[in-house]
Amino acid sequence: MEQLDVEIKEATLVAPSEPTPTHILQLSALDSQPFLRFTIEYLLVYPPCCDHDRAAIAARLKDGLARALVPYYPLAGRVRPQASSSSSLEVVCQAQGAVFIEAVSNVRVYEFERAPHNPDHRRKFLALHVADVLRGPPLVVQLTWLADGAAAVGVGLSHCICDGVGSGEFLNSWSEFVNGRRGLNGPWPKPVWNRHLLDPMQPSTRSVPHPEFERVPDLSRFSTRLPRNRLTPTAICFNRGHLAELKKLALKDKWFDSGRLLGRLGESSYTSFEVLAAHVWRCWVRAMGLADRQIVRLLFSINARKRVEPSLPEGYYGNGFVLGCAQTTVKELREKGLGFAARLVRKAKERVDDDYVRSVVEVVTESRASPDSVGVLILSQWSRLGLEKVDIGLGRPVHVGPICSDIYCLFLPVFNEDDAVKVMLAVPKSVVAKYEHLLRNPK
C-alpha cells in the first residue's frame, strides 16, 4: 500500500444558523470525570460516486451543521473549569462555532476493509486533534474526498458534553438537517440539557461497592505490556452464526471448584453482547500471558438513562452511562470457561440500578475517582449508537470505526449485516497471532 496522504484544502468555523442563548451551562459530575476529558473520534466512510459535486456537498454539510448547532448550541461553545471548583466543568455558550475541515486523500475505500497498520495510521482523517478538551472546540468535522470518489467523514466530539448515545443522536440529527428532512420546529425529540438531573442527591442507604475504581496489585508488570508504539490493531467480524455458536458454547459450559462440579450456571440464554464480551475478554487475557493470581477486570459502558428513577428524558445527550465491572482472576477466567465469563458480564449489568448510579455520582463528586488500568480491558459498544444510519446524502457508511485504534476494545457495526459485529482492538505485536487464533477458535 502506498503511503497515506491527506491534503488539507480549507478549514472554517461554522456557527449556529440562528441566534442561540448566550450563557454558561454547568456540566454534571459524570460529565466532569477526569477520565472522560478526551475527544470521541469517529470515522465514517461513504461509497464512491463519480457524479458528486464536491463543492455543493461540502456546502450542504456545513449548512446542515449550522442548523444542527441551533438545538445543539453547547457544541458550538467552549468547555472550561468552573471558577468555584476546578474539578467541575462548564460550557461557555457564545456561538463560538465548530470547526469544519475539507481535504483530499490518495486512499481508496477498499483500504478500510482491514485493520489499520498502526494505531495512528488514520490520524490525518481528523487533522485537528483536540487532545485537551479545555483548550479546543468541542466539535470538529473533516470531510475528506478519497481517490476513487468515496468520502471519509471524521468527527471529534468532546466526551465532556456528550456520551456515545448522545453523539449518535447528534450525528443523525445533523444528517437529517443535511438532507432537508428536519426543520428547526420539527416534531423529533429535541435535545435536552438538564444536567442537574444527575447531581448528587441524598446518600443511598445501601452500601454499593465499586470495584471499577479500586486499585489492585500489578502482578504482571501490566503497565509495561502495552506501550503504544508496539501495539497492532486487529479487526475480526462475528456474524449471526458465530454469535449463535458462542451462545451455545456458553450454555454448555460447566465449571468446578476444587474438583467439585458446581453445575451449569442456570441460564436459559445469553445476549450477543454478553457472550461476545466474555469471549473477547477471555481471549485477550489468555493471549497476554498474565500471572494466574492477577485480578483482571472487564469494564464496559452501561446506558443508565432508563435505570435511574425517574428515567432521564428522551433526548438527554450528556454522559448518561456508568461502567459495568466484571472481575475475577486470570486462572478462573481461563479455566472456568465462556459460560462463567458471560455470567460475570450479566451480573455486572444487573447490579446497575438507581442506587448504583447515584452512588457513582457521589463517588466521582467526592473523590474524583477514576478507573484503574491494571489488568483492565475497557469495552465500548459502538454497534448500538446508530452510527451506521448516518446518511449525509451519500448513502449509509460502508465503514464505521475510530480515527485511531487503541487499547480500548470497540464493538462496531458491519455494513449491510444488522446482526454482525466487528471487534476492533489493538494488542501488543508479540501476541497478535495468539489473540486472533483464540478469537477465531472459541472453546
Summarised one tens digit per residue, pLDDT across range 264-275 is 445 568 999 999
Residue 57 gets the label, from left (phi > 0), alpha (psi -120 to 50) or beta, of alpha
Q: What is the pLDDT of residue 183?
A: 59
Q: Give the three cell numbers for residue 324.
A: 459495568
- Determine the Cα–Cα distance for residues 251 and 249; give it in Å rounded to an integer: 5
- Predicted confidence at residue 49, as pLDDT, reads 81
Note the pLDDT tens digit of each residue in 297-346: 999 999 999 999 999 999 999 999 999 999 999 999 999 999 999 999 99
Q: How far apart are CA 405 and CA 116, in angstroms?
A: 8
Strand runs labelled E in 181-259: 231-238, 255-257
pLDDT at 62 over 70: yes
Per-residue pLDDT, averaged over 12-20, amounts to 98
Fold adopted by 6-197: Chloramphenicol Acetyltransferase (3.30.559)
Give the confidence band of 85 by pLDDT, cuts at 50, 70, 90.
confident
Beta bridge partner(s), residue 39: 158
Polymer length of the chain: 443
pLDDT tens digits along 361-420: 999 998 888 998 999 999 999 999 999 999 999 999 999 999 999 889 999 999 999 999
Greater pLDDT, 64 or 209: 64
Beta bridge partners of 327: 297
* Three-class secondary structure of residue 171 per DSSP: helix
Quick: pLDDT tens for 92-136: 999 999 999 999 999 999 999 999 999 999 999 999 999 999 999
**So what's the pLDDT on residue 205?**
65
Whole-prediction pTM value?
Answer: 0.94
Active site residues: 159, 391
Q: Could you check whether 6-197 and 211-385+396-440 share the same CATH topology? A: yes
Interatomic CA distance for residues 218 and 333, integer angstroms: 17
Confidence of residue 185 (pLDDT cuts 50, 70, 90): low
C-beta separation of 405 from 423 below 8 A: no
**Average pLDDT of span 351-363:** 94
Tell me the C-alpha distance between 375 and 297, whole Å.
Answer: 6
pLDDT at 258: 40
**In terms of Cα–Cα distance, which of 302, 310, 364 is closest to 89?**
364
> What is residue 400's predicted lDDT score, i.e. its pLDDT?
98
Percent above pLDDT 90 for the chain? 83
Cell 454522559, located at residue:
319
Cα 300-382-160 angle, rounded to 5 deg: 70
Which of the residue ranges 213-227, 248-262, 283-297 would you say has the lowest mean pLDDT?
248-262
Q: HSE (CB half, 13 Å, CA atoms) of 199?
A: 7
d(CA 264, CA 245) in angstroms, rounded, equals: 17
Dist CA 413 CA 421 (whole Å): 5
How far apart CA 163 and CA 198 sit, in angstroms, is 14
Report domain extents, the chain: 6-197, 211-385+396-440
Query: Residue 263 pLDDT more than 50?
Result: no
* The pLDDT value given to residue 228: 67
219-224 contact pairs (CB < 8 A, 24+): 219/290, 219/291, 219/293, 219/294, 220/288, 220/290, 220/291, 220/294, 220/375, 222/290, 222/294, 222/373, 222/374, 222/375, 223/373, 223/374
Mean pLDDT computed over every residue of the chain: 92
Asked if omega into 209 is within 30° of 0 (cis), the reply is no
Quick count: other Cβ atoms within 10 Å of Cβ 79? 25
User: Measured between alpha carbons, how far is 128 from 428 in angstroms, rounded to an integer?
Assistant: 27
CATH of domain 211-385+396-440: 3.30.559.10
Mean pLDDT in residue range 149-169: 97
